[in-house]
Amino acid sequence: MTQQTKLTVQALQWTGEALKVLDQRQLPETIIFDDYRDAAGVTDAIATMRVRGAPAIGIAAAYGVALSVIQHTAEDPVHWQQKVAADIDMLAKSRPTAVNLFWALEQMKTLLDRPLASPVEAFIECAEKIHADDISANTKMGELGADLLADVKGVMTHCNTGALATGGYGTALGVIRSAYQRRPINVYAGETRPWLQGARLTVWELAQDGIPVTLLADSAAAWLMKSGAIDWVIVGADRIAANGDTANKIGTYSLAVLAKQHGVKVMVVAPTTTIDWSIDNGDRIEIEQRNQNELLPACFIKEGSLVSAWNPVFDVTPAELISAIVTERGVVLNPAEQGIRGLKDVI
């Protein structure tokens, strides 16, 4: 494991004819890449959380469309567009909350209506550009966010927002990476129940970069804030409404409420592709409800059980609880007051 993870963590690797996906459900104990050669496989990888994180989901879906084109142009050179369109619809149903998924699929869908001399090459090129642009955006956000952390002593993050959740480098973890390169800071990671992305993924990923990190139970966050150990909570986003309300991993809203109480600032880091300009506020964000069996102990998973589970995997943090939204196009301080629509026109 050590030899493999000394390199930059790459959750998605394109070979030219297949998408290699790091099965994040098995980290950190086991590092396994699964190869996918059609859109159905990529859809399953997204739905089963082998690949996760809004930007990574969008990138994987784009490659899924490229794989669909490779498959169907070979099998049916006349009607391949209809079959690819059906695969795009299938991919769109894999996860409902991450807007990057739908944005990436729209980019790919525009190619279906164009006369293409070499459709396979065109779709692969589009997917690779989506991937490369995400890495570039992450690097830019990392530097912009780090500028806000000049004098901090400690930060806390939630879920996983690093290279595992993006095309590479990360959103919130990208900021932490960039800040740590300038000077050491204390980094705390919440475990992020029920899937433990913080405990299994974030601390593992930071360790690969040689960044010390302290893990804490989600329920310890308030006491940590009261101690004065942290100045910022830094998180990613799966969808941002036009007013700055932000959907992110379940528990983010709790942290923002606690941060308000304790004078801790909250930073949301996400590419502008995560902003859904079509919705005015967070009330219109669809929150994914996953199977209760993911949360229930095995003894309660049986017919007639009196015990059930409520398993939303995201919540929405109101813009008024957010101190800064960092994107590759710039930083918005106090988004509830400033608004974020100015980002829409930045090139």
Instruction: Give tens-digit pLDDT for 278-329.
Output: 999 999 999 999 999 999 999 999 999 999 999 999 999 999 999 999 999 9
Does the pLDDT of residue 6 top 90, yes or no? no
Predicted confidence (pLDDT) per residue in 104-163, tens digit: 999 999 999 888 889 999 999 999 999 999 999 999 999 999 999 999 999 999 999 999
Predicted confidence (pLDDT) per residue in 83-94, tens digit: 999 999 999 999
pLDDT at 54: 86
Predicted confidence (pLDDT) per residue in 47-71, tens digit: 999 999 889 999 999 999 999 999 9
Predicted confidence (pLDDT) per residue in 161-213, tens digit: 999 999 989 999 999 999 999 999 999 999 999 999 999 999 999 999 999 99
Tokens of 215: 């893990």
φ, ψ of residue 316 in degrees (nearest 5):
-120, 125
DSSP class of 288: P
Name the band, by pLDDT with cuts 50, 70 and 90, for residue 347.
low
Alpha helices, H only, the chain:
2-5, 39-47, 54-75, 80-92, 99-112, 119-147, 172-182, 197, 203-208, 221-227, 252-262, 335-338
* CATH code that applies to domain 144-345: 3.40.50.10470
**For the whole model, what pTM was predicted?**
0.89
- Residue 130: strand, helix, or coil: helix
Q: What fold is seen in the domain 2-136?
A: Four Helix Bundle (Hemerythrin (Met), subunit A) (1.20.120)
pLDDT at 1: 28
Contact 155, 231 (CB under 8 A): yes
pLDDT at 113: 85
Domain boundaries, the chain: 2-136, 144-345
Predicted confidence (pLDDT) per residue in 216-235, tens digit: 999 999 999 999 999 999 99
Predicted confidence (pLDDT) per residue in 251-283, tens digit: 999 999 999 999 999 999 999 999 999 999 999
Tokens of 219: 């329920």
Cβ-proximal residues to 269 (8 Å cutoff; 6+ apart), any chain: 141, 145, 161, 171, 172, 174, 175, 234, 235, 236, 237, 325, 326, 327
**End-to-end alpha-carbon separation of the chain, Å?**
41
Does the pLDDT of residue 43 top 60, yes or no? yes
Known catalytic residues?
Answer: 238
Name the band, by pLDDT with cuts 50, 70 and 90, for residue 345.
confident
pLDDT at 115: 87
Give residue 177's identity as a one-letter amino acid code: R
Contact 58, 138 (CB under 8 A): no
Does the pLDDT of residue 73 top 50, yes or no? yes
